[in-house]
Amino acid sequence: SQRMMEVSRMAKLLDNCQRSFTNHEQTVLVFRKAYVNDPEKLFQDLTPFLHKVFVVFKRTSPPERLLRLFSKLATHPSANEEENAWTNKFAWETLRCCLALLKCVEKSARFRACQLIGLIIADMPEDQELSEEDYQAIQQGVIPLLTDKIPIVRIQAVFALSRLQDPEDPADEIAKKLLTLLVHDSSKEVRKECVKRIALFKETLHVVLSRIRDTSDIVRKATFTLLRERLDLSSLTIFQRNNILKSGLQDRAVSVQKECASVIKAWLPQRDDDVIKFISLFDVEDNEPEVEIIVNHLISKQEHSSTEKPPFLREISPQQAIYWRILCDHHRNQKNPDWSLIDSLMPDTTELCTVIRAHLNSEFVTGQLLKLCVHAEFQDSVSRNEMGALMKTLLKDMRTSNELVPLMLRVLRIIFKDESEYCRFVMEIISDIRDPLESSVTPEDDAIQRREMEEKFIEIEDKNAVLLAELDICKANDDYEEAARLQKESMACAAIMSKLDAELNKKEKQDEVTWLRVLAIVNNILQHTRKGLQIPSIQMLLNSTILPTVASENPIIRAPSLTAIALYCLLNKEQAERHLILFLHVIRNDQDALQYIAIKGLFDLLLFHDGLLSSEPKNSSEKPSDGAEEKSQSDDDDDEPDSQVASQESSPGPPSNAGPTADQIISTLVEFITHEDDYIQSSTCEGFAKLLVLDRLRHIKILSLLILQYFNPNTVEIESLRQTLSVFFPTFLTSTSHRRAFLDAFMPTLRTIAYAPLSSPLSKVSGADVSVWMLSLLQTDPDPNAKQSSVEPGNPLSYHESIGFDVCAEISAAPTGLGVRTLCRVLTKLKFNPENQHNIKAYRNLVESIVNEEDESRKITDKRSLRYFETVVATLKKLDKTPDEDLPEEQQMEIKPSISDRIETATIRQQEQLNQMENDYTEEQGLSQLSQSMSQSSAPRRKKLSGKRKTSLYSAEQKHDDDDEVKASETSSNILSEQNSQQDDSPEIEPDVPSASSSKRKRQTPSKKPPPKRPKTKPKAKPKSKKKPSAKPAAVKPTTPTRISRPRSDRISTSKRKKDLNQQMLDLLSSSSEDEATDSSSGFESLDSL
């Protein structure tokens, strides 16, 4: 009876504790007093109650409160050693019981036991130490639960192990386990718990920071909470600070944005609440966009009161300059700008010009001040004239960076409201840059001097070659006295050659700088013009500036000139049609950097000017009939012949009277969908996606290629490509005709994946996953909130029925093929309308006929495929309301021709696919053999940029064969000269300075940073090709001077080849003009003979 009374009293105390936390402290004291000498007996009496808690899996308040009570009993602090010993004994009894339940099959027992272990460890005082045996026992018991199949158990395991980490040990096992869980766990709650509990040290910090880009917003928010509470600003690198705040402030989730704002609010007091001091931690010169986001946030939250107010007029730092500019922009962009406040932040125009002149040595500060000029007042003519004179001086000064040219021209557009007056002023600047008044040497005299220096260089080079040959003979005859004299003369020749080479390089560098400045101005004019070719000065830019630079041998000059001619063609469709051949020539033959620019420009032209992708040549006098257009479109909707997408040889083609056809344009561009360069590949896919969305192109195979690229494992790291296609496909399917095209692309895509060879990355793609994704897009109805929707929501199951018959026909065509298993698995993913019993019966008959095939040669032998068919048959029997009845013979006879046609079509497509695979394999083998033979011979024809991702488009590592460079530039020059002869409406203007392609010497292209920005990545190692041994005798002694490689024979061969090439191209042009029936593609084929 006494025992029952103790149990009833204990139950009453525990009942009060599970109702509220307020009774916990008093209950702990009662239990300690009652069992002062026997903590083991207390745990034994509480065990039945504890077991009742362990069977509750659902997280409710009563069991949570009771577990907190047990944790307090096991960790109750006391100054008395005896009481501490009592607490330790009770704690170990509790832990021993919980550790025994960690291997229990029941998930609730594992969950509650692990939770109680975590509570006890978390409530232990900081000075309490665990014995090595206890530590090992807990670690060995809890670590296996990190891989438990129940997420909440893994969460409690992370919680229990959090205080057992050793931050001083980089090889800590628990920290490694938590890092693995943080990166790879599928549960967002588990990842969130890992972020909260993991110890921060050098080895774990970068992994934790990567969670600011986690797919779950609660994990991202937990990461920012961790940064705010446990991380000091000084412990992060500049890159980490920029990345953290930029990602947080631009996050799509509002909760993450608020948490990032709290991080900034917590970090700002570490720099005395001064915005200028705060942004000095972010390297504003290299991270201007990120700093602008941060400063805008601080200004919008009114957290810049302690910062010095502009204007700053003396020794402006980069931090002050960007803060000043962003502050003015912020107030200017308000809905109701406070103009008085903006005026107080800006000095007068004269003083602003003085400040700009004083800071010309800092490009960043100058750029910020130029951006600040848009807020200046230009009401009076004095301020306009002074600012205009300053901009003119800066544009003519070659020490000013080309990055500042758009900013200076923007100021000039504000000063000159009339565009004609603005263009006239800028054209005067261009004229002064190309032909400066202070120069005493005319362009003609400069060209003569350069030619004389080159001839002198060749003469001395030949003389030096003769001396070196005689020197080798003297050494062979042991005539050392004569050898010493020859060696001295050879060294003198080498010194003269070096001097001439330096002077010629200096002249070429001056020409390069001049052309780059002119092209930077021209590109900005063409980009922002509103009147276009209506202004005569803009119309004259084509012949005076753009065309001479497009034919330059220097790729650094050709890059902005390609951008310029693309912008010029955007202003006029006729010019675009005339210069399409030029873009195709660059895409086929030039280096990757220029191919990227040409691809972007060509796609812009195709998107901006409707009708460039016509089926006939642009200058053809005959227009296709409506019937021909319908036939062409129907051929595109149905699988096009392989010739439309087949890769053409990338050989340059001379311009003919007829421009390139749509097939030539598409077949040239489609090769770059799988280009090795990520940026070219991404821009090509983006261009085709835009053409497909705008109905400028209807091409099933290109659509199929985009789907394959979306699932290609090699494009996983190309974020721009994946993001573009992720937006493209749902947008594309908002049209009924587009859905039909997407359905037509289903089988070509599935066929390519099913029959992909093992060496192809597509062999790793699951055909079932691709089919499920495509079907899910087809099932999605268009946006019901769209104002103008061209889609009528139809029955999505009809797509499944059509695909089901096509897949069955594909299997029937080759039941023992390699891709049968993939196709059979797709059948299990299809859904059919139970109301359409006719299709269900027809589909069931077709499936059963495949399974019950009597011909052994046409019978499916793969066991897994047969299991897939059994699943499909079982599903169809359930859907069939009358499974014992069959279709009438009349309906069966009607269906048979359709099924036979599908099977015949599938057989043809399979054979085409296999032939294409065989051709690709043969071509791959031939290319590998060709590359091996080329590596053993002389330098390759045209070396590509090293590395899959190029850090610079024009780096010094780009070593191209000079003969090929001359050939490409001369071909471009001939193309442009032919096009110039056809331009009757544009006045010809001779350039005032020598052409950028006038130099004939062979030198290494200087390094230059490209216009398009690219992320910094580690380039791949470029294979070294074997050098061709020199035909001249080499010197024996090391004192022999090094010869500069400028062989005269190459110069002669280049000049001769140029004449031959021009003559043959003229012959081709004359023959093509006489024979009007000759197709435009003949021009491309004829150039192969050159």
Tell me the pLDDT tens digit for each residue of 1027-1044: 333 333 333 333 333 333
Q: Say yes or no to pLDDT of 631 above 60.
A: no
- Residue 989 or residue 423, greater confidence: 423
The per-residue pLDDT for 996 is 40
What local confidence, expressed as pLDDT, does residue 80 receive? 76
pLDDT score at 894? 62
Averaging pLDDT over each range in 114-118, 782-786, 926-930, which range is the top one?
Answer: 114-118
Model pLDDT for residues 886-931, shown as the tens digit of each residue:
777 766 666 666 667 667 776 776 677 667 666 665 655 554 554 4
Asked whether the beta carbons of 575 and 567 are under 8 A apart, the reply is no
Residue 980 has pLDDT above 70, yes or no: no
User: What whole-number distance in Å separates Cα of residue 1070 and Cα of residue 1064?
Assistant: 10
- In a 13 Å sphere around the CA of 522, the CA atoms on its Cβ side amount to 32
Integer Cα distance of 249 and 253 in angstroms: 10
For residue 978, pLDDT over 60 is answered with: no
Tokens 């032909």 belong to residue: 435
Closest by CA position to 822, among listed 765, 743, 906: 765
Cα 737–743–745 angle (5° rounding)? 110
| pLDDT tens track for 33-51 | 888 888 888 888 888 899 9
- Upper half-sphere CA count for residue 397 (Cβ side, 13 Å): 14
Specify the pLDDT at position 902: 67
End-to-end CA distance of the chain: 114
Average pLDDT over residues 211-240: 92
pLDDT at 20 over 80: yes
Contact 298, 245 (CB under 8 A): no
Q: What is the pLDDT of residue 992?
A: 39
Nearest Cα to Cα of residue 309 among 289, 324, 290: 324
Measured CA to CA, the distance from residue 681 to residue 692 in angstroms comes to 17
Q: Which of 514, 594, 524, 585 is nearest to 555 (CA)?
A: 594
Mean pLDDT of 1070-1076: 38
Question: How confident is the model at residue 197, as a pLDDT?
Answer: 93
**Burial of residue 294 (number of CB atoms within 10 Å: 0-12, 13-18, 19+):** buried
Closest CA to 3 of 52, 51, 41, 50: 41
Q: Which of 464-473, 787-796, 1002-1011 has the lowest mean pLDDT?
A: 1002-1011
Confidence bin at 509 (pLDDT 50/70/90): confident
Burial label for 355, CB within 10 Å (0-12, 13-18, 19+), is buried
Which range is most confident: 693-702, 864-873, 1053-1062? 693-702
The per-residue b/e assignment along 416-447, b for 16 or more CB within 10 angstroms, e otherwise, is beebeebbeebbebbeebbeeeeeeeebeebe
Residue 4 clears pLDDT 50, i.e. is over it = no
Task: Please give the structure tokens belonging to residue 194.
Answer: 């890992």
* Residue 1052 clears pLDDT 60, i.e. is over it: no
Distance, in Å, from the CA atom of 21 to the CA atom of 142, rounded to the nearest integer, reads 28
Residue 465: CB atoms within 10 Å = 17
Q: Widest CA span of the chain, in angstroms?
A: 128
pLDDT, mean of residues 360-369: 94
Of 983 and 919, which is predicted with more confidence? 919
Of 814, 988, 809, 1034, nearest in space to 900 by CA: 809
Residue pLDDT, tens place only, 403-444:
999 999 999 999 998 999 999 999 999 999 987 644 445 556
The owner of tokens 């003389």 is 463
Mean pLDDT taken over the chain: 77
Structure tokens at 246: 């930029």
- Residue 666 to residue 643: CA distance in whole angstroms: 11
Give the rounded distance of the alpha carbon of 347 from its chain centre: 42
CB-facing half-sphere around the CA of 495: CA atoms within 13 A = 6
CA 120, chain centre distance (Å): 49
Which ranges in 436-479 belong to alpha helices (H)? 443-476
Please give the torsion angle defined by the CA atoms of residues 1005, 1009, 1015 and 1017, in that order, rounded to the nearest 10 degrees: 30
**Looking at the DSSP assignment, which residues form a beta bridge with residue 1008?**
954
- List, in order, residues 6 or more apart from 630 with CB less than 8 Å away: none
Alpha carbons 1075 and 394: distance in angstroms, whole number:
54
3-state secondary structure of 416: coil
Q: Locate 573 and state its tokens.
A: 């469709």
Tally Cβ neighbours within 10 Å of residue 663: 17
Q: Which DSSP helix (H) or strand (E) runs through 1089?
A: none
Q: Find which of 30-44, 339-353, 497-511, 925-939 is predicted with most confidence, using mean pLDDT.
A: 339-353
Give burial (CB, 10 Å; 0-12/13-18/19+) of 282. buried
SS3 545: helix
Which of these ranges, 237-251, 484-498, 593-607, 795-809, has the smallest mean pLDDT? 795-809
Taking only the tens place, the pLDDT of each residue in 54-79 is 999 999 999 999 999 999 988 887 76
Q: How far is CA 762 from CA 671, 755, 768, in A?
A: 17, 9, 13
Report CA Rg, the chain. Answer: 39
Give the per-residue pLDDT at 413: 94
| One-letter amino acid of 786 | A
Task: Give the Cα-Cα-Cα angle 46, 48, 49 (nearest 5 degrees).
Answer: 65
State the Cα–Cα distance between residues 833 and 801, nearest whole angstrom: 8
pLDDT for position 929: 53
From the CB of residue 59, how many other CB atoms can be counted at a distance below 10 Å? 10
How far apart (Å, rounded) are the C-alpha atoms in residues 905 and 814? 12
For residue 798, pLDDT over 70 is answered with no
Residue 31 tokens read as 């239990």
pLDDT winner (highest mean) among 775-789, 899-913, 954-968: 899-913
Please name the residues in contact with 688: beta carbons below 8 A apart, sequence gap of 6 or more: 669, 670, 673, 697, 702, 706
**3-class SS of residue 605:** helix
Are 690 and 607 in contact by the 8 Å Cβ rule? The answer is yes
Q: Do 709 and 721 touch, CB atoms closer than 8 A?
A: yes
**How many angstroms separate the CA atoms of 470 and 481, rounded?**
13
What pLDDT sits at residue 1032?
Answer: 36
In terms of average pLDDT, the best of 495-499, 511-515, 880-884, 934-938 is 511-515
Coil, strand or helix at 443: helix
Give the model's pLDDT for residue 956: 32
Q: How many CA atoms lie within 13 A of 581 on its CB side?
A: 28
Whether residue 1083 is predicted with pLDDT greater than 60 in this model: the reply is no
Rounded distance, CA 43 to CA 220, Å? Answer: 42
Contacts of 420 (CB under 8 A, 6+ apart): 531, 535
Cα separation of 374 and 144, whole Å?
A: 64
More confident residue, 913 or 375: 375
CA–CA gap between residue 558 and residue 544 (Å, rounded): 15
Between CA 497 and CA 777 the distance in angstroms is 68
Q: How far apart are CA 402 and CA 643, in angstroms?
A: 45
Q: Which two tokens stand for residue 204?
A: 């774990």
- Residue whose pair of structure tokens reads 């220097």 in the numeric block: 554
| Contact status, residue 733 vs residue 742, Cβ threshold 8 Å | yes
pLDDT at position 1004 is 37
| Cα separation, 831 vs 835, whole angstroms | 12
| Residue 636 confidence (pLDDT) above 50 | no
Band (946; pLDDT cuts 50, 70, 90)? very low
Contact 588, 671 (CB under 8 A): no
User: What totals of helices (H) and strands (E) does the chain contain, helices first?
Assistant: 47, 0
pLDDT band at 780 (very low <50, low <70, confident <90, very high): low
For the record, the structure tokens of 609 come out as 């000017």
Domains observed in the chain: 2-244 (1.25.40), 308-415 (no CATH), 572-730+1056-1090 (no CATH), 745-783+792-923 (no CATH)
**What letter represents residue 291's amino acid?**
V
